[in-house]
Structure 1
Amino acid sequence: MTLDPSFIWTAFVQILPAIPTTLYITIVSMFFGLLIGTAVVLIRIYKVPVLHPLAAGYVTLIRGTPMLTHLLLIYFGLPMLIDSLAESFGWSFRSVSIPMIGFAYISFSITAGAYMSEVVRSGIIAVDRGQLEAAHSVGMTTFQALRRIVLPQAFAASLPNLSNGVIGMLHGSTLAFTVSVVDINAQAQIVASSNWKFFEAYLAAAVIFWGLTVLVERLTALIEKRINLYNRGGVT
C-alpha cells in the first residue's frame, strides 16, 4: 500500500460538507450541557431537598460510564419510552419522528451536563464568598447575587476548563456515527469506502479536527484577553 497525497486533498474537500453537523452537535450539546450543569451544581451547593441526592447520583452515574454507552441507551431506550407513553395516552407522536441527530443532541447534552457541573462548581468555589455576603448586605436576593455577581465571575474563571469541554465534545461527536449521523469522521469513512484509501481519508479528517480545535483555542484566548481587560479596567 502506498500513500496517495492527491487523494488527501480530494477527501478533504469531500469531507468539508460534514463540518456543520459536527459543529451543531458540539454547540447544541455544550449549550444545554452548560445549562444542565449549572442547575445541577446550584442544587448540590444549596442542598435542595429531594433534588440534591438525585443531582449527586446523576453526576456520579454519568461520569462513571462511557459516553458511547449513554448514546446507545438513549438511542434504544428513548424510543421504547416514547412509544409506550404514546400508546398509553393515545398520542400521535412516535419515536420514528425523531431525527437521528436528535438522539445525539439528547445523549451528549446529558453527558456534558455532568462534566460541566464540575467545571462550574470549580468556578463558583474560586469566587470569594464575601462577594455573595456583600450582595446580600445591599439588599440583593441570592438569585440576583448569583446572576449578577457570582456566576459571571465563575464562568470567567472556568473558561479554560470550558474550552477543554468544548474540544472534548468536538472530538466526542464522532461517536454519533454509531446512530447513523454523518459527521466528519463518518464522512471520511464514506469517502474512503469507494477506493479503500482509508488512511488518506482519515488523515484529511484529522487535519479538519485539528483546524477546528485550533479555532476553539484562539477564540478562547480572545475571550480571556477581553475578560482580563475588563478586570484591569481597560474597557469601559
Structure 2
Amino acid sequence: MKLDPAFIFTAMLQLLSSLPVTLFITVVSVFCGLLIGTVVALIRIYRVPVLHPIAAFYVMFFRGTPMLMHLLLVYFGLPMLIDSLAAAFGWSFHSAAIPMLGFVLIAFSLTAGSYLSEVIRAAILSINRGQIEAAYSVGMTTWQALRRIVFPQAFAVSLPNLSNGLIGMLHGSTLAYTVSVVEINAKALIVASTNWKFLEAFIAAALIFWGVTLVIEKAAALLEKRLNTYNRGGVA
C-alpha cells in the first residue's frame, strides 16, 4: 500500500463542498453558546434566586460529560420529549419535522454555552468593581453599566479563550457525522469509501481543518492587537 499524493489534492477538492456545513455548525453553535454563556454567567455572578443552582448544575453537567454524549442525549431524548408534549397537548408539530442538523446545533450550542459561561464569568469578574460603582454614581442602570463598561472590556480580556472555544467547536463539529450530518469528516469517509484510500482522504480533511484553524488564530491575533492598541489610547 502506497500513499497517493495526487489523490490527497483530489479529495481536498471534494471535501471543500462540505466546508460550509462545518463552518455553519461552528459559527452558529459558538454564537448561540455565547448568548447562553453570557446569560448563565450573569445568573451565577448575581446569584439569581432559583436560577442560580440550575445554572450551576447546567455548567457542571455539560463540562463533566463528553460532547458526543450531549449530541446523543439531544438526538434521542429531545424527540421523545417533543412527541410526548405533542400527544399531550394535541400539537400538530412532531420531532420528525426537525432536521438532523437541528439536533446538532442544539446539542453543540448547549456544550459551547457551558464552557463559554466560565470564560465570560471570569472575564466579567476581572473588571474592577470600582468602574461599576462609578457607573452607578452617574445614574447608569446595571444593564447600562454592563453594556457600556463591563462587556467591552470583558470581551478584550476573554478574546484568547473565545478563539480557543471557536477552534474547539470547529474540531468538535466532526462528531456531527454520528447523526448522519455530512460535514468534512463524514465527507472524507464517503470519498475514501469509493476507492479505499482512507489515509489520503483524512490527510486532506486534516489539511482543511488546519488551514481554517490558522485563519481563526490569525484573525484573533489581529483583533487582539487592535483592541490592545485602542485600550492603550493609541491610533489603530
Q: Which residue of 2 aligns with 1:23?
A: 23
- 1:229 offset after TM fit, Å? 2.1
Q: Which residue of 2 aligns with 1:219?
A: 219
Task: Give the whole-Å Cα distance in 1 for the aligned partners of 2:223 and 2:126.
Answer: 19
Q: Which residue of 1 aligns with 2:3?
A: 3
Q: Which residue of 2 aligns with 1:91?
A: 91
Q: Which residue of 2 aligns with 1:139?
A: 139
Q: Which residue of 1 aligns with 2:122?
A: 122
The Cα RMSD (Å) is 0.9
Unaligned runs of at least 5 residues, structure 2: none
Where does 1:1-236 land on structure 2 (aligned, <5 Å)? Answer: 1-235=1-235
Task: Give the whole-Å Cα distance in 2 for the aligned partners of 1:53 and 1:81.
Answer: 23
Task: Give the whole-Å Cα distance in 2 for the aligned partners of 1:98 and 1:40.
Answer: 26
- 1:228 offset after TM fit, Å? 1.5
Q: State TM-score, norm by structure 2.
A: 0.98
Task: Give the whole-Å Cα distance in 2 for the aligned partners of 1:35 and 1:178.
Answer: 26
Moved over 3 A (4+): none
- 1:91 offset after TM fit, Å? 1.2
- 1:143 offset after TM fit, Å? 1.2
Task: Give the whole-Å Cα distance in 1 for the aligned partners of 2:115 and 2:50.
Answer: 21
Q: Percent identity?
A: 71
SS in 1 for 2:196: coil
- 1:208 offset after TM fit, Å? 0.1
Task: Give the whole-Å Cα distance in 1 for the aligned partners of 2:121 and 2:44.
Answer: 9
Which amino acid is 1:135 matched to? Answer: A
Task: Give the whole-Å Cα distance in 1 for the aligned partners of 2:139 and 2:50.
Answer: 29
- 1:234 offset after TM fit, Å? 2.5
- 1:62 offset after TM fit, Å? 0.5
Which amino acid is 2:94 matched to? Answer: R
Which amino acid is 1:152 matched to? Answer: P
Q: State TM-score, norm by structure 1.
A: 0.98
Task: Give the whole-Å Cα distance in 1 for the aligned partners of 2:184 and 2:164.
Answer: 20
- Per-residue CA deviations over 1:15-70 (Å, capped at 9, x if unaligned) read 00100000000000000100000100100010100000000011001100000000
Task: Give the whole-Å Cα distance in 2 for the aligned partners of 1:9 and 1:177.
Answer: 22
SS in 2 for 1:196: coil
Unaligned runs of at least 5 residues, structure 1: none
Which amino acid is 1:58 matched to? Answer: Y
How many residue pairs match? The answer is: 236
Task: Give the whole-Å Cα distance in 1 for the aligned partners of 2:146 and 2:130.
Answer: 13
- Per-residue CA deviations over 1:115-154 (Å, capped at 9, x if unaligned) read 0000001111221111111101111111110111111111
Task: Give the whole-Å Cα distance in 1 for the aligned partners of 2:12 and 2:184.
Answer: 10
Task: Give the whole-Å Cα distance in 2 for the aligned partners of 1:148 and 1:78.
Answer: 38
Task: Give the whole-Å Cα distance in 2 for the aligned partners of 1:231 and 1:74.
Answer: 42
